[in-house]
């Protein structure tokens, strides 16, 4: 009888510790995916020269706002290598970025049938500062 109850207690202790560890691993991976990963921005010239390599991929850009469309519907972003049009249609709440603001964003490079140039669709505004 003593041996059976000891065995049961041991199994419960092992199970509770194992489940706590697995639960901790699950939560840490869940929260790690919510934290933005730091990575160097892709240069606009690289996107322009190799658009097929980046179309449909998530990309991180950094530069300055050189143009703003009506109702902030798009931005013209320039880095030290080139310019690209950035659509803001994926952003739920538009944030105004004045001309010459430093901007950092993530999004997806897309191709439109009507426009020969690659088009960048922003989904996260990471920074907009004068």
User: Three-state SS across the chain?
Assistant: CHHHHHHHHHHHHHHHHHHHHHHHHHHHHHHHHHCCCCCCCCCHHHHHHCHHHHECCEEEEEEEEEEECHHHCEEEEEECCEEEEEECCCCCCCCCCCCCCEEEEEEEEEEECCEEEEEEEEEEEEEEEC
Long-range contacts, 91-97 (Cβ 8 Å, 24+): 91/122, 91/123, 91/125, 95/125, 95/128, 96/68, 96/72, 97/65, 97/68, 97/72, 97/125, 97/128
pLDDT at site 16: 60
- Residue 52 sits in the same domain as residue 20: no
pLDDT at site 30: 44
- Residue 30 sits in the same domain as residue 49: no
pLDDT at site 31: 43
pLDDT top residue among 64 and 37: 64
pLDDT band at 22 (very low <50, low <70, confident <90, very high): very low
Residue 76 belongs to domain spanning: 44-129
pLDDT at site 39: 74
pLDDT at site 27: 45
- Residue 82 sits in the same domain as residue 118: yes
- Residue 97 sits in the same domain as residue 68: yes
- Residue 49 sits in the same domain as residue 87: yes
pLDDT at site 125: 85
All residues at 6 or more sequence positions from 115 whose CB lies less than 8 Å from its CB, including other chains: none
Q: What is the pTM of this model?
A: 0.66
Number of independent structural domains in the chain: 2
Across 49-54, average pLDDT: 90
pLDDT band at 32 (very low <50, low <70, confident <90, very high): very low
Q: What is the pLDDT of residues 72-130, one digit of tens each?
A: 888 999 999 999 999 888 877 666 789 999 999 999 998 878 777 777 888 888 888 88
Across 46-73, average pLDDT: 91
Q: What mean pLDDT value characterizes the chain? A: 78
Query: What is the distance between the alpha carbons of residues 64 and 128, in angstroms, rounded to a whole number?
Result: 9
- Residue 53 sits in the same domain as residue 80: yes
């Amino acid at each position: 009888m003593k041996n059976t109850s000891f065995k049961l207690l041991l199994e419960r202790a092992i199970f509770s510790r194992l489940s706590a560890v697995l639960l901790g691993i699950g939560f840490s991976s869940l929260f790690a995916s919510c934290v933005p990963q730091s990575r160097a921005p892709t240069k606009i010239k690289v996107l322009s020269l190799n658009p097929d390599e980046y179309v449909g991929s998530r990309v991180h850009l950094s530069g300055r706002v050189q143009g703003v469309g009506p109702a902030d519907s798009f931005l013209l972003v320039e880095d030290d290598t080139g310019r690209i049009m950035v659509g803001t249609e994926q952003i739920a709440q538009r944030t105004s970025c004045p001309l010459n603001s430093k901007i950092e964003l993530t999004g997806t490079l897309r191709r439109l049938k009507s426009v020969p140039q690659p088009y960048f669709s922003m989904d996260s505004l990471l920074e907009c500062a004068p």
